[in-house]
Amino acid sequence: MLRTEFSSYTTEKGKVSYSAPSNIALVKYWGKHGVQLPQNASLSFTLSNCKTITSIAYEKKSSASDNFEFQFFFEGQPKPSFELKINTFFERISEFCPFLKDFSFKIDSENTFPHSSGIASSASGMAAMAQCLVQIEVALGSTLTLEEQLQKASFLARLGSGSACRSLEGPVTVWGAHPEVEGSSDEFAVKIPFQVHEIFEDFQDTILLVDKGEKQVSSTVGHNLMHEHPFASQRFEQANGNLAELAEVMQKGNLERFIHIVESEALTLHSMMMTSSPYFILMKPETLEVINHIWEFRKENNIPVCFTLDAGANVHVLYPKSFKDEVLTFINSELAGYCQNKQYICDVVGTGIQKL
């Protein structure tokens, strides 16, 4: 990856601010190797409303030192518990960003979604931070092209949290080398290199907050359990096959196949958890209730609404914008009761990072 060596810097201090959204995988990444490299390609919708807003102020250190100097504030408050994570992230990326040791940083971050909603902030958080760091590098005099800047931000975000690399661009990105996605790479995500059907450009994602608590098993542990998993190789092959078909389906706008692949991917992800050793279940009884209601509603009303799950109990309800009224009425009357405090978040497919 593009490492910029500086003999001198064009500026000594400044500030950059970006927002980055969360993303929801349709073809799931579950299982990794090496340094945050995926075992199969994954594909996701970039979201709009669930995002992290990060500003980084930087200033050249008065004297050289070999450590990282930074302060981290979350919603205006110092957050020492995050500092270890950031230090580990800086250590991992410093070979690609040697300027990190020459500057001190003040990082301010906030999320637009509620605290402890069960929505992982690592994707949006790492994407926003990575984009800010690349823009600092550009301000300091690096000559990366726009395309290289996006690639590098995605590459750095991946080193922070795998799926974060898919949050830089939208509406649909792919991470993981795949023969049918030109330019795709295990090292960073790319925007899907074709026009998706217009129905997907403003696809809705209503996130039902079934369980807002901390997960009992982290993604890191879950990914690692794929190493000895009896179905691992079939799963990785299946995901790559699903991605090939979904890529075609998303160009044509075939909702029937879309629903089939997306729901199958969600249930397969959770099947991998249930067949790991040790096994575990992240779904809750309410998750299954919601899924059954969605199936009934779809059948009775012939409305193309489906679900996906990430590594947790919350349900992402996906549907075309033209059915928003009917689906929201259904969610309010039949699904909200399964959510903690009847809470859900309305999101929509989006375009990725924004400069603030």
- Residue number with CB closer to ligand PMV (132 or 189): 189
Q: How far is the CB of 303 from ligand PMV (least distance, A)?
A: 26
- Residue number with CB closer to ligand PMV (163 or 240): 163
Side-chain-facing half-sphere of 256: CA atoms under 13 Å: 2
Site for ligand PMV in 271-310 (CB under 6 A): 310
- Residue number with CB closer to ligand PMV (4 or 46): 46
- Residue number with CB closer to ligand PMV (32 or 297): 32
| Residue 25 makes contact with ligand PMV by CB under 6 A | yes
Side-chain-facing half-sphere of 232: CA atoms under 13 Å: 17
Q: How far is the CB of 168 from ligand PMV (least distance, A)?
A: 14
| Residue 163 makes contact with ligand PMV by CB under 6 A | yes
- Residue number with CB closer to ligand PMV (162 or 320): 162
Say if CB 41 and CB 177 are below 8 A apart: yes
CA distance 120 to 148: 27
| Residue 29 makes contact with ligand PMV by CB under 6 A | yes
C-alpha gyration radius of the chain: 20
- Residue number with CB closer to ligand PMV (162 or 352): 162
Supply the DSSP string of 12-76, one letter for each residue.
SEEEEEEEEEEEEEEE----EETTTEESS-EEEEEEEEEEEEEEEEEEE-SS--SS-EEEEEETT
Q: How far is the CB of 223 from ligand PMV (least distance, A)?
A: 6
Out of 21, 160, 162, 350, point to the residue binding ligand PMV (CB under 6 A). Answer: 162
CA distance 325 to 272: 35
| Residue 161 makes contact with ligand PMV by CB under 6 A | yes
- Residue number with CB closer to ligand PMV (172 or 311): 311
The long-range contacts involving 119-123, CB below 8 angstroms and separated by at least 24 positions, are 119/22, 119/50, 119/207, 119/209, 119/314, 119/345, 120/22, 120/219, 120/310, 120/311, 120/312, 121/22, 121/52, 122/160, 122/161, 122/163, 122/164, 123/22, 123/23, 123/161, 123/163, 123/164, 123/166, 123/167
Site for ligand PMV in 67-106 (CB under 6 A): none
CA distance 120 to 113: 10
| Residue 219 makes contact with ligand PMV by CB under 6 A | yes
Three-state secondary-structure class, residue 245: helix
Say if CB 42 and CB 135 are below 8 A apart: no
| Residue 205 makes contact with ligand PMV by CB under 6 A | no
Out of 16, 20, 21, 28, point to the residue binding ligand PMV (CB under 6 A). Answer: 28
- In angstroms, how far is CA 92 from the centroid of its own chain? 19
Question: Pattern 308-337, binding to ligand PMV, x per CB under 6 A?
Answer: --xx--------------------------
Question: Pattern 110-129, binding to ligand PMV, x per CB under 6 A?
Answer: ------------x-------
- Residue number with CB closer to ligand PMV (117 or 142): 117
- CA triple 22-170-36, angle to 5 deg: 60
CA distance 96 to 158: 13
- Residue number with CB closer to ligand PMV (32 or 99): 32
Three-state secondary-structure class, residue 22: strand
Question: Segment near ligand PMV (CB under 6 A), from 78-86, 157-165, 295-303, 332-340?
Answer: 157-165
Say if CB 330 and CB 295 are below 8 A apart: no
- Residue number with CB closer to ligand PMV (51 or 223): 223
Residues that contact ligand PMV, how many (by CB under 6 A) = 14
Question: Segment near ligand PMV (CB under 6 A), from 27-35, 196-204, 250-258, 342-350?
Answer: 27-35
**Positions that interact with ligand PMV (CB under 6 A):** 25, 28-30, 42, 122, 161-163, 219, 223, 269, 310-311
